[in-house]
Amino acid sequence: MYQHVTVPEGGQKITANADATLNVPDQPIIPFIEGDGVGVDITPVMLQVVDAAVEKAYGGARKIHWMEVYAGAKAARLYGPEVSLPLETVQVLKDYLVSIKGPLTTPVGGGIRSLNVTLRQELDLYVCLRPVQYFDGVPSPVKEPHKVDMVIFRENSEDIYAGIEFEAGSDSARRLIKFLQDELGSKKVRFPETSGVGVKPVSQEGTERLVRKAIQYAIDNDKPSVTLVHKGNIMKFTEGAFRDWGYGLAQKEFGATLIDGGPWCRLTNPRTGRTITIKDVIADAFLQQIILRPAEYSVIATLNLNGDYISDALAAQVGGIGIAPGANMSDSIAVFEATHGTAPKYAGKDYVNPGSEILSAEMMLRHMGWTEAADLLLASMGRAILTKKVTYDFARLMEGAIQVSCSGFGKVMIEQMDEA
Ligand SMILES: NC(=O)C1=CN([C@@H]2O[C@H](COP(=O)(O)OP(=O)(O)OC[C@H]3O[C@@H](n4cnc5c(N)ncnc54)[C@H](OP(=O)(O)O)[C@@H]3O)[C@@H](O)[C@H]2O)C=CC1
Ligand SMILES: O=C(O)CCC(=O)C(=O)O
Ligand SMILES: [Mg+2]
Rounded Cα distance between 195 and 317, Å, is: 36
pLDDT digits (tens, 9 = 90+) for 140-190: 999 999 999 999 999 999 999 998 999 999 999 999 999 999 999 999 999
Region 1-22: mean pLDDT is 95
For the Cβ of 355 lying below 6 angstroms from any atom of ligand 1, the answer is no
Region 76-90: mean pLDDT is 96
> What are all long-range contacts of 12-16, with beta carbons under 8 Å and residues at least 24 apart?
13/95, 13/96, 13/97, 14/96, 14/97, 14/98, 14/368, 15/97, 16/97, 16/332
Provide the annotated active-site residues. 161, 231, 284, 308
DSSP string covering 223-279: -SEEEEEE-TTTSIIIIIHHHHHHHHHHHHHH--EESTTSSSEEEE-TTT--EEEEE
Number of residues assigned to the chain: 420
- How far away, in angstroms, is 178 Cα from ligand 3 center? 33
pLDDT digits (tens, 9 = 90+) for 331-380: 999 999 999 999 999 999 999 999 999 999 999 999 999 999 999 999 99
- How far away, in angstroms, is 304 Cα from ligand 3 center? 10
Asked if pLDDT for residue 112 goes beyond 90, the answer is: no
- Percent of residues, the chain, with pLDDT higher than 90: 97
For the Cβ of 36 lying below 6 angstroms from any atom of ligand 1, the answer is no
pLDDT band at 420 (very low <50, low <70, confident <90, very high): low
The ipTM (two decimal places) reads 0.99
CB 86 within 8 A of CB 22: no
pLDDT band at 418 (very low <50, low <70, confident <90, very high): confident
Phi-psi domain of 23 (left: phi exceeds 0; alpha: psi -120 through 50; beta: other): beta
pLDDT given for residue 136 in this prediction: 95
pTM: 0.97
CB 225 within 8 A of CB 278: yes
33, 115, 116, best to mutate for ligand 2 pocket (most atoms within 8 Å of CB): 116
